[in-house]
Amino acid sequence: MVSARYIFRRLLQVIPVLLVVGTVVFFAFRVVPGDPAQLALGVDATPEALAALRHEFGLDRPLVVQYAIWLGGVLRGDLGVSRLEGHRRVVDVLRPKIPVTLQLVVFGMTFALALAVPLGIAAAVKASGRIDQLARIVALLGFSTPSYWLAILLMLLFSLKLRWLPAGGYVSPVEHLGQHLRFLVLPVITVGLIQAASLVRFLRAGMLEVLNLDYIRTARAKGLAERTVIYGHALKNSLISLITVLGTNIGALVGGLVVTEQIFAWPGLGWQMVTSIMTRDYQVVQGAVLYIALMFVTINLLVDICYVLLDPRIHYE
């Protein structure tokens, strides 16, 4: 069983990672060429106005002091104030974006699993058969397809040609659930198809390995139906390898979302980050990086906990 102590210890490990990410991001954006005050006020600002704004931003203090102030703020959940976005607090700008992004992660992954699990099993059960060949081709093609290209192909087909679905945009589910779902379809397919491609390969490999083990032979020998052997016995154990891939893929997924969100004008964290990089609103960029890293680390933590839940032989000390 997963002990509370283990979860607590893993939670503690999250802190240094976030601290490193935060520190790197803080100093990275301090060496950005260009003075933030100058950027905020434009080229024809008076030196007095510049000095005043620098003082307001705390830019006239030593770097270490700035860092200490910033870190203190982060620990209290204060990520500073956006230079644009109506001078709102960074936290207020970013917080509503989190569920929007998480939606894509959750639905995209669900779609990917729904595709990959049956295909992976079928490919492994009849290795080198026709389905296996098909799975290999699908995986190779999917693995090489840029998400932004897939998105454009889907838009051309379903939005411009067939006119079934909107090409991009977002409607909040509170506002209109039906519309919301229509906007959700293409981004989810984009995310899901690409994920499915790499999941299939690993699921097939994991399943093949398990199918060759003695306990499967025993199960068959004692006359269990092939169905029970595959779904009851083999699948459960090959889930371990699936979870591993899920964990490593989440990074690519979260990174890829930056692009997918941009294409579909899906106003999540990635979209906000790119928008803020464009407008040089670095406070928001810093915050967005932190949030995305936090999401990444949390998902990895959940994956590790899943390991222990699935395989009682795995112990963490």
Partner 1 sequence: MSDVVWTGAATANWRRRLRRFLRDYVTVLGLVLFGALLIVTTLAPVIAPFPYDRFAGPPLRPPGEGFLLGTDEVGRDLFSRILYAGRISLGVGFGATAVAVGVGLPLGLVSGYFGGRYDSVIMRGMDGLLAFPALLLALTTVAVLGPSVRNIIMAIGLVSVPIFSRLVRASVLAFKQRDFVEAARAMGAGDLRVLTVTILPNCLPPLTVQFTLTFATAVLTEAGLSFLGLGIRPPTPSWGMMLNTGRNVMALAPLYPVMAGAAVFLTVLSLNLIGDGLRDALDPHQFTRT
User: Interface residues with partner 1 (CB under 8 A)?
Assistant: 17, 20-21, 25, 28-29, 31-33, 127-128, 140-141, 143-146, 148-149, 152-153, 155-156, 160, 205, 208, 251-252, 254-256, 258-259, 262-263, 273-274, 277-278, 285, 289, 292-293, 296-297
Q: How far apart are the first and last CA of the chain?
A: 13
Q: Whose Cβ is closer to partner 1: residue 162's or residue 221's?
A: 162
Shortest Cβ 97–partner 1 spacing (Å): 15
Give strand ranges (E) for 115-187. none
Shortest Cβ 275–partner 1 spacing (Å): 10
Q: Whose Cβ is closer to partner 1: residue 34's or residue 223's?
A: 34
Question: 10 Å Cβ neighbour count for 53?
Answer: 18
Q: Whose Cβ is closer to partner 1: residue 58's or residue 251's?
A: 251
Cβ(104)–Cβ(194) below 8 Å: no
Q: Whose Cβ is closer to partner 1: residue 116's or residue 284's?
A: 284
Chain CA centroid to CA 314, Å: 26
Shortest Cβ 297–partner 1 spacing (Å): 7
Please give the angle made by the CA atoms of 192, 102 and 116, to the nearest 5 degrees.
20
User: Could you give the C-alpha distances from 11 to 15, 71, 157, 267, 280, in angstroms and in order?
Assistant: 7, 19, 45, 29, 33
Cβ(116)–Cβ(199) below 8 Å: yes
Shortest Cβ 164–partner 1 spacing (Å): 16
- Distance (Å, whole) CA 130 – CA 205: 16
Shortest Cβ 121–partner 1 spacing (Å): 16
Q: Whose Cβ is closer to partner 1: residue 173's or residue 267's?
A: 267
Nearest to 201 by CA among 231, 227, 238, 228: 238
Token couple for 296: 């990444």
Q: Whose Cβ is closer to partner 1: residue 25's or residue 184's?
A: 25
Shortest Cβ 247–partner 1 spacing (Å): 12
